[in-house]
Protein backbone atom coordinates (compact mmCIF):
# COMPACT_ATOMS: atom_id res chain seq x y z
CA UNK A 1 0.00 0.00 0.00
CA UNK A 2 1.22 3.49 -0.82
CA UNK A 3 1.96 5.98 1.91
CA UNK A 4 -1.10 8.20 2.16
CA UNK A 5 1.04 11.06 3.52
CA UNK A 6 2.56 11.52 0.05
CA UNK A 7 -0.69 13.24 -0.91
CA UNK A 8 0.05 16.29 1.25
CA UNK A 9 3.04 17.21 -0.88
CA UNK A 10 1.23 16.29 -4.09
CA UNK A 11 -1.78 18.51 -3.38
CA UNK A 12 0.43 21.34 -2.17
CA UNK A 13 2.17 21.28 -5.54
CA UNK A 14 -1.20 21.21 -7.32
CA UNK A 15 -2.25 24.25 -5.24
CA UNK A 16 0.99 26.12 -6.02
CA UNK A 17 0.41 25.67 -9.74
CA UNK A 18 -3.30 26.44 -9.57
CA UNK A 19 -2.54 29.69 -7.70
CA UNK A 20 -0.97 31.00 -10.91
CA UNK A 21 -4.51 31.08 -12.34
CA UNK A 22 -6.58 32.32 -9.39
CA UNK A 23 -9.58 33.15 -11.56
CA UNK A 24 -9.91 29.53 -12.72
CA UNK A 25 -12.11 27.23 -10.71
CA UNK A 26 -10.46 23.89 -9.89
CA UNK A 27 -12.54 22.12 -12.54
CA UNK A 28 -11.33 24.59 -15.16
CA UNK A 29 -7.73 24.15 -14.10
CA UNK A 30 -7.74 20.37 -14.12
CA UNK A 31 -9.85 19.99 -17.27
CA UNK A 32 -7.65 22.46 -19.14
CA UNK A 33 -4.63 20.46 -18.01
CA UNK A 34 -6.18 17.13 -19.03
CA UNK A 35 -7.16 18.50 -22.44
CA UNK A 36 -3.69 19.93 -23.00
CA UNK A 37 -2.05 16.67 -21.90
CA UNK A 38 -4.25 14.55 -24.16
CA UNK A 39 -3.65 16.81 -27.18
CA UNK A 40 0.11 16.75 -26.64
CA UNK A 41 0.69 13.13 -25.60
CA UNK A 42 -2.34 11.40 -27.17
CA UNK A 43 -3.14 9.45 -24.00
CA UNK A 44 -5.11 10.04 -20.82
CA UNK A 45 -3.68 10.72 -17.37
CA UNK A 46 -5.00 7.57 -15.68
CA UNK A 47 -1.69 5.75 -15.28
CA UNK A 48 0.61 8.70 -14.60
CA UNK A 49 2.42 8.48 -11.27
CA UNK A 50 2.09 11.44 -8.91
CA UNK A 51 5.61 12.80 -9.44
CA UNK A 52 5.18 12.61 -13.22
CA UNK A 53 1.79 14.32 -12.95
CA UNK A 54 3.38 17.29 -11.19
CA UNK A 55 6.05 17.46 -13.89
CA UNK A 56 3.39 17.60 -16.61
CA UNK A 57 1.26 20.11 -14.70
CA UNK A 58 4.30 22.39 -14.42
CA UNK A 59 4.89 21.99 -18.14
CA UNK A 60 1.25 22.91 -18.81
CA UNK A 61 1.42 25.94 -16.50
CA UNK A 62 4.63 27.16 -18.14
CA UNK A 63 3.09 26.75 -21.59
CA UNK A 64 -0.05 28.69 -20.65
CA UNK A 65 1.90 31.40 -18.79
CA UNK A 66 4.16 31.81 -21.82
CA UNK A 67 1.19 32.39 -24.09
CA UNK A 68 -0.39 35.12 -21.95
Task: Please write the tens of the pLDDT for every residue from 7-44.
Answer: 999 999 999 999 999 999 999 999 999 999 999 999 99
Count Cα atoms within 13 angstroms, Cβ side, for 1.
Answer: 3
Give the angle subtended at the CA of 10 by the CAs of 9 and 15, to the nearest 5°: 95
**Region for 43 from its dihedrals, namely left if φ exceeds 0, alpha if ψ lies in -120 to 50, beta otherwise:** beta
Distance CA 41, CA 18 (A): 21
**Cβ atoms 45, 37 nearer than 8 A:** yes
DSSP 3: -
Single pTM value for the model: 0.91
Amino acid sequence: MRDANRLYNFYNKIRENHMKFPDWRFGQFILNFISWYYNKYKTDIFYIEDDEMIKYIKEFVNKVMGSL
